[in-house]
A and B are shown apart, each in its own frame.
Chain A
Amino acid sequence: MLELRDVRRTFHPSTPNEVRALQGVSIDLQPGSFLIIIGTNGSGKSTLLNAVAGTFFVDSGTIRLAGHDITRWPEHRRAALIGRVFQNPFSGTAPNMTIAENLALAARRGQPRGFGPALDRRVRQEFRDRIRTLNMGLEDRLDNAIGSLSGGQRQALTLLMATWRKPDLLLLDEHTAALDPKSADQVIRLTDELIRRDRLTTLMVTHSMQQAVNLGDRIVMMHRGQILHDLQGPDRSRARPEDLLSRFEQVRRREQMDANVAALLQRSYV
């Protein structure tokens, strides 16, 4: 379904700010599988998601999705295949437009947009029925501006919007990180429900080890723009939050060791 081959990307090359964000990442994702990406800060996990979404083009490597080579596709073209939820609840919705208008925009994801009316009675009824299932009381506020909603409500709506037309791939970029624990819980439950119901192929970045072991069927751990561990099958089922944390601890120790070893060598040889 999704196939990344040796994807590389360096930001600000040959300047003091050079960041090698992705250093040869390859992933194969089967249809219907739910991959969770964890990693240290700056490990490139969000960059990987953005590379798939087309926020920028990769320097080398190929990205294939649903039988298309999308490596050189611009972002808006990839959107026909991909549904996205961002970390920032403000990013996924148009704040000055109404709930109904936002849903209408999402209902035509990747479709040509012409001079047909965006909203009519039938569509509004469909929207109302669908957001009633969120149990947030939003069904009576279809004509309120999205800006008046809480972060949790916005993320729930964005999730609904991203999956309104079944996407070939769903990208979730730490979509509960900016929410209070209760809303985060609610959004995670909704996420799980939607993904199960439509058997969505999903790529989710999170910093919560709890989410990583509770959701999904595969865990990838990234570090310095590379994949460090790829837990699938039995390894994945045995994984506990503590195991993941200890792997992080290993990475951290090795990192420190690098510095210590360098200091040691410096004292002896330089």
Chain B
Amino acid sequence: MTLLLGALTIGLLLAMLAFGVYLSFRIFNFPDITAEGSFTLGASVCAVLLLAGCEPLLATGAGFLAGFVAGALTGLLHTRFSINGLLSGILVMTALYSVNLHVMGKSNVPLMSVRTLLTDMEQLAGFLAQGAPTVQLGPWEVSTRDLAALGGGFALVCIVGFALHWFFRTNLGTAMRATGDNAQMIRALGVNTDRVLILGLALSNGLIALSGALLAQYQGFADVQMGIGMVVWGLASVIIGEALVGTATLGFLITGAVMGSVLFRLLVAVALRWGLDPNDLKIVTALFVFLALVGPRWMRKLRAPRASAAEGAR
């Protein structure tokens, strides 16, 4: 049960990553690799501030802001200096590796015995459960602490999800979606598409850094390596979400990203439980995204010759 709750919680925290990846890859069609650096950046900035005794909510917000700046930088490189989008992201990501080491001062910062959002949530849950270490949830006996983390994650995802849903329907958010859909058109309607792209990438990386900050607090440490493979991870979540609920409306897309993230984390937890070598996790993730991208095309090809043969027979 603890394993399941843990996977659910991490899935929820990584849903912010899925939002960010969705924003850059799907809305702008911009392959933004900055994420790998900004995820760690959010975690390291947050961790260092927490160690300094900063209010957890503020430290988490600072993580978001750090990612926001990193994303804006990538956007700036791409628009002002016309550097290829992928390369802009790679440049910032590479630079961020050094930045992260400097922020943390070493490659790993443990957050043991430090006040974090997690300990705050646990305290709140302990208060609500009147100090009971476990709570009866239907047929299951669940640890209050696990439940606290899950509840906190769920609340945060709801807040961020609703905020995004609101933002994308404002005038600015609509213009942002249009920039990804048809830049020529929205320029002809008076929108500075460069500026919108910078803002969009900033927001995307802010969300990804937020995800990193939350994960660091949940797992109790920030590590300079923790961002590796996060773009593919986020993509996998987005793809699963789209397959699950479709892309009909904004609400579906956002819910889909959350569900995709949770489901993917659950799948990974199950695979690890069944004896998947943790070292193989990244290659399995990459293979999964590869199949999800290519699979539909193969299916069409497999179907197409038969369809044309049938027409020929007629």
| A interface residues (Cβ-Cβ under 8 A, vs B) | 53, 74-77, 79-80, 82, 84, 86, 90-97, 101-102, 104-106, 108-111, 113-119, 161
CB within 8 Å for A117 and B189 given contacts A91-B184, A105-B174: no
Interface size class of B (residues with CB under 8 A): 20 to 34
B174 touches A93 (CB 8 A): no
Measured in the bound complex, the distance between the Cα atoms of B178 and A192 in whole Å is 29
Looking at B3-11, B190-198, B225-233, the stretch in contact with chain A turns out to be B190-198
Q: B102 within 8 Å of A by Cβ? A: no
Report the stretch among B73-81, B116-124, B165-173, B289-297 that lies at the interface. Answer: B165-173
List B238-270 residues whose CB lies under 8 Å from chain A: none
C-beta contact mask, B154-181 vs A, less than 8 Å → 1, else 0?
0000000000000101111111011001
The complex places the Cα of A90 from the Cα of B193 at a distance, in Å, of 18
- 26 CB < 8 A contacts A-B: A76-B187, A76-B191, A76-B193, A77-B190, A79-B190, A84-B188, A86-B188, A91-B182, A93-B182, A95-B181, A97-B178, A97-B181, A102-B178, A105-B175, A105-B186, A106-B189, A109-B189, A113-B171, A113-B172, A113-B174, A115-B167, A115-B171, A115-B172, A117-B169, A118-B170, A118-B173
* A77: B residues at CB distance < 8 A: 190
With A105-B175, A117-B170 already in contact, the answer to whether A94 and B190 are too (CB < 8 A) is no
B112 at the interface (CB under 8 A from A): no
Q: How far is the CA of A244 from the CA of B191 in the complex (A)?
A: 39
A107 CB to closest chain B CB, in angstroms? 9
Residues of A within 8 A of B128 (CB): none
Decide if B182 touches A110 in the complex (CB within 8 Å). Answer: no
State A257–B4 Cα separation when bound (angstroms). Answer: 84
Q: Does B129 contact A (CB under 8 A)?
A: no
Can you add 7 more A-B contacts, CB < 8 Å, to A106-B189, A118-B169, A118-B171?
A: A74-B192, A79-B190, A92-B185, A94-B182, A110-B189, A113-B170, A119-B169
Bound together, the chains give a CA A108 to CA B178 distance in angstroms of: 13
Which B residues touch A109, using CB under 8 A?
A: 189-190
Please report the C-alpha to C-alpha distance between residue A74 and residue B192 in the assembled complex, in whole angstroms. 9
A266 to B272, CA, bound (A): 83
Inter-chain contacts of A76 with B (CB < 8 A): 187, 190-193
Rounded to whole angstroms, the CA-CA distance of A84 and B170 in the bound complex is 24
Q: Which residues of B contact A84 (CB under 8 A)?
A: 188
* A116 to B173 Cα, complex, angstroms: 10
Which residues of the partner chain A approach B169 to less than 8 Å between Cβ atoms? 117-119
Measured between beta carbons, the chain A residues less than 8 angstroms from B191 are 76, 79, 113
Q: Within the assembled complex, what's the spacing in Å between the Cα atoms of A86 and B173? A: 24
Give the distance to chain B from A174, nearest Cβ to Cβ, in Å: 16
Which of B175, B181, B184, B185 touches A113 (beta carbons < 8 Å)?
Answer: B175
Q: Which residues of B contact A161 (CB under 8 A)?
A: 189
Distance of A102 Cα from B177 Cα, bound (Å): 11
Using CB atoms, name the residue of chain B closest to A147: B181
Instruction: Decide: A101 and B174 in contact? CB cutoff 8 A.
Output: yes
Contact B171–A94 (Cβ < 8 Å): no
Q: How far is the CA of A82 from the CA of B193 in the complex (A)?
A: 17
Residues of A within 8 A of B189 (CB): 79, 105-106, 108-110, 161
Closest chain-A Cβ to B295's Cβ sits at a distance in Å of 22
Name the one of B174, B184, B190, B193 contacting A110, with C-beta atoms under 8 angstroms.
B190
In the complex, residue of chain B having the shortest beta-carbon distance to the beta carbon of A79:
B190
Residues in chain A near residue B171, CB distance under 8 A:
104, 108, 113-118
A76-B192, A77-B190, A79-B190 are contacts. A94–B185 as well, Cβ < 8 Å? Answer: yes
Query: Which residues of A sit under 8 angstroms from B182, Cβ to Cβ?
Result: 90-91, 93-95
* A86–B193 alpha-carbon span in the complex (Å): 18
Query: CB distance B190 to A91 under 8 Å?
Result: no
**Nearest 10 CB-CB pairings of A with B:** A79-B190, A94-B181, A110-B190, A113-B171, A118-B174, A94-B182, A94-B178, A109-B189, A84-B188, A115-B170
Docked pose: A79 CA to B187 CA in angstroms: 7
CA distance A95 to B187 in the complex (A): 15
B190: chain A residues at CB < 8 Å are 76-77, 79-80, 108-111
Which of A75, A76, A92, A111 is packed against the most chain B CB atoms within 10 Å?
A76
Measured in the bound complex, the distance between the Cα atoms of B305 and A43 in whole Å is 45
